[in-house]
Amino acid sequence: MSFPPYTVVVTSCERFDLLRATLDSLLANLDVPPQKVVVIEDSADEGIRAALEGLDAPLEIIVNGARVGQMPSIDKAYATVTTPYVFHCEDDWAFSRSGFVAQSYRVLEARPDVSLVGLRPRAELNPLVRETPKETVAGVEVFLLDPSLHPEYFSYSFNPGLRRMSDYARVGPFAPLGHEPDVSYAFKKAGFRIANLENPAVRHIGDGRHVEDPTQPPKAKTLGQKLRRSIQKRVKRIRRAFGG
């Protein structure tokens, strides 16, 4: 069976050991070869080129001249994509099996309301969706996340997965929307949800290696800052729960 062409886009920020491990495991398990692999580095460190030397892939490396943050980096990388599909990934994942690209294509073709096909095991997902019933879509076992379970989540994510560029064109660019919860909320308003493969294909390897995004407020440190941040987040979510 033939599939439309797709591009792999990987966002990175100076975690070259994790990035190389991510790409090594991803390229070893891609069952459908990509047209191109785009890696965008947000640290301005040209050392990424040496870190990725020898990769057997049609590789394009973009190095930002200064840090711009996750969302502007995604928009910049997506601007180079000419294929109808993109497989999005960050720099801290380990892929464990093949077959997930073809399975994801079939799900996206059958379900236009699905924004992406996730690959993570249930145990790594939000507790609200871990007990979601399994179902079969286009011969593929999946569970469909219910956006009504949270004011913002479960309609979009930057976890590894295949997605349509036409949906990005409809909802994006992402930078003006804000951050990941804001992007998911925009996809929710557009009627989208996430599908996740029942048979997982990836696990997260970046715990304890978080990189601060310069476009987000500094991490709260004092009790007062944490309380203020929590209140602001809850107020925003309450407003969105009621359509605001």
**What pLDDT sits at residue 212?**
76
CATH of the domain at 97: 3.90.550.10
**Is 199 contained in some domain?**
yes
Give the range of the structural domain holding residue 240, as residue numbers without chain letter.
218-244
Same domain, residue pair 152 and 225: no
Query: What pLDDT, on a 0 to 100 scale, did the predictor assign at position 2?
Result: 81
- Judge whether residue 18 has pLDDT over 70: yes
- Per-residue pLDDT at 229: 58
| The predicted structure's pLDDT at residue 12 | 96
Task: Output the six-digit token pair for 224.
Answer: 């007062």
What are the Cα distances from residue 114, in Å, to 45, 170, 182, 193, 217? 36, 14, 17, 5, 31
Residue 167, domain member (yes or no): yes
Query: Which DSSP letter does residue 123 get?
Result: G
Alpha carbons within 13 angstroms on the beta-carbon side of residue 38 total 22
Tell me the C-alpha to C-alpha distance, in Å, between residue 93 and each of 1, 139, 160, 232.
28, 26, 8, 31
Q: Is residue 158 part of a domain?
A: yes
Query: Do 110 and 231 reside in the same domain of the chain?
Result: no
30, 17: one domain: yes
Encode pLDDT of 56-103 as tens digits: 999 999 999 999 999 999 999 999 999 999 999 999 999 999 999 999
Q: Are residues 209 and 223 in the same domain?
A: no
Q: Are 79 and 131 members of one domain?
A: yes
- Distance (Å, whole) CA 10 – CA 40: 6
pLDDT tens digits for 111-138?
Answer: 999 999 999 999 999 999 999 999 999 9
Looking at residue 225, its pLDDT comes to 53
How far apart are alpha carbons 156 and 117 in whole angstroms?
10
Burial of 236 (0-12, 13-18, 19+ CB in 10 A): middle
User: For 167-181, how does the pLDDT look when each residue is reduced to its tens digit (9 = 90+)?
Assistant: 999 999 999 999 999
83 and 199 belong to one structural domain: yes
Q: Is position 1 within any domain? A: no
Express each pLDDT in 184-225 by its tens digit: 999 999 999 999 999 999 999 988 677 777 777 666 566 655
Residues 237 and 135 in one domain: no
Is 133 domain-assigned? yes
Radius of gyration (C-alpha) of the chain in whole angstroms: 18
Q: Is the CB of residue 143 less than 8 Å from the CB of residue 135?
A: yes
> In which residue are the tokens 């309380």 written?
227
Q: Are residues 119 and 228 in the same domain?
A: no
pLDDT at 5: 97
pLDDT at 241 over 60: yes
- Size of the chain, expressed as the number of residues it contains: 244
Tokens of 116: 């992406």
pLDDT of residue 19: 97
Q: Please tell me the total count of domains within the chain.
A: 2
Q: Is the pLDDT higher at 207 or at 25?
A: 25
User: Do residues 161 and 92 share a domain?
Assistant: yes
Backbone dihedral region of 112: left (phi > 0), alpha (psi from -120 to 50 degrees) or beta? alpha
Indicate if 229 and 146 belong to the same structural domain: no
| Together in a domain, 148 and 229 | no
In this structure, are 207 and 225 located in the same domain?
no
The answer to whether 60 and 36 are in contact (CB under 8 A) is yes
What per-residue confidence (pLDDT) applies to 226?
Answer: 54
Using a cut of 0.85, tell me whether the model's pTM lies above it. Answer: yes
Check residue 218 and give its pLDDT. 64
